[in-house]
Amino acid sequence: MSAGDLYVGRAMSESRAVASRLTGSLHVVSAGLGLAAWDVFVPNYDLTVVPGAGSIAPALAEAGYGPADWWRELNALKGTPLPLSRLINDAVRTKFLVALPSAYICMLEHDLGGLDTSALDRVCIFTSRAGAGMVASRLQRCVMHYDERLEGHKRYAGTRSDFPQRAMRHFVEELDGQLLGGESANDAVERAMAQLKQPVIPQRERKTDEEIVELIRSEWAAHKGSSTRLHRYLRDTALVACEQSRFRGLWRQVKAEIL
């Protein structure tokens, strides 16, 4: 299957929307495959550095390594060291929008460090507050200063796991940020954030995996098995606390039972 068929969920749909709007190419940062173009054929796998189902983070930590070590060795074995920075450095007339959660910013620490100084004005990084704190000081000018106030914009509200991609889409659709330089781009972001108000976060109940699985089963037909809609139901209607990585594993469990 192609990478486009393998990767699902709102983070990916937001990324596809941005690539389509800009008629640009889309690449996926994969803990299992490295840097993969959207249309290449890839094996079906389940591996991530984000805590939860399929995570290799505990095994890496036990062995005394971190995600950045994994990324370096993975790409060394493929013969493609620093694949993201090489792609950016070589495409001297191309703007790059990089949307990644904090765990993947951490994984790409050395790779991002390979960016040429001359390339930095062509790079915009979208990540969480935690992710922004992991970006090296010389790359901080690339980080777009989105924060929780984005949740106050109904069209771009969502979960923490898809925050970077939602911020990127807002940047492109609302600000035409891809046309702006570094300081001008962040000025536009800060003005946009100033017009929004962070919504009050509802109190969500913690439930066991078994209880959440039962909720997913009971609502499967009503939501046509859609992972996005079912996750939204849990968080917004049932008011159940369930992060994306945990939900993904439970949703797959129910899917295997039903289909």
Rounded CA separation 103/125 (Å): 14
Q: What are 16-66's pLDDT values in tens digits?
A: 999 999 999 999 999 999 999 988 887 887 788 887 777 898 999 999 999
Rounded CA separation 172/154 (Å): 16
Which residues of the chain are modeled with pLDDT < 50?
A: none
Q: Does 136 lie in the same domain as 248?
A: no
Q: Does 151 lie in the same domain as 124?
A: yes
Q: Does 111 lie in the same domain as 48?
A: yes
Number of domains in the chain: 2
**What's the pLDDT score for residue 6?**
75
**What's the pLDDT score for residue 159?**
86
Does residue 187 lie in a domain region? Answer: yes
Domain limits for position 134: 3-194
Q: Does 178 lie in the same domain as 98?
A: yes
Does residue 172 lie in a domain region? Answer: yes
**What's the pLDDT score for residue 4?**
66
Does residue 8 lie in a domain region? Answer: yes
Tell me the three state secondary structure of residue 114: coil
**What's the pLDDT score for residue 3?**
65
- Which CA distances in Å does 159 have to 7, 29, 53? 17, 20, 18
Q: Does 124 lie in the same domain as 186?
A: yes
Does residue 21 lie in a domain region? Answer: yes
Q: Does 245 lie in the same domain as 148?
A: no
Q: Does 189 lie in the same domain as 230?
A: no
**What's the pLDDT score for residue 241?**
93
Buried b (16+ CB within 10 A) or exposed e, 232-246: bbbbeebebebebbe
**Residue 30 exposure: Cα atoms within 13 Å on the Cβ side:** 22
Q: Which of 169, 194, 219 is the last residue of a domain?
A: 194
From the list 38, 154, 138, the residue with the least C-alpha distance to 125 is: 138
Q: Does 227 lie in the same domain as 165?
A: no
Does residue 244 lie in a domain region? Answer: yes
**Helix and strand totals (H; E) in the chain:** 13, 6
Q: Does 110 lie in the same domain as 235?
A: no
Rounded CA separation 190/184 (Å): 10
Does residue 228 lie in a domain region? Answer: yes
Rounded CA separation 195/192 (Å): 5
Q: Does 112 lie in the same domain as 225?
A: no
- The C-alpha angle 222, 226, 230, rounded to 5 degrees, equals 70
Does residue 200 lie in a domain region? Answer: no
| Beta carbons of 44 and 6 less than 8 angstroms apart | yes
Q: Which of 142, 162, 194 is the last residue of a domain?
A: 194
Buried b (16+ CB within 10 A) or exposed e, 146-183: bbbebbebeebebbebbbbbbbbbbbbeebebbebebe
Q: Does 130 lie in the same domain as 89?
A: yes
Q: Does 247 lie in the same domain as 148?
A: no
Does residue 16 lie in a domain region? Answer: yes
Rounded CA separation 27/83 (Å): 11
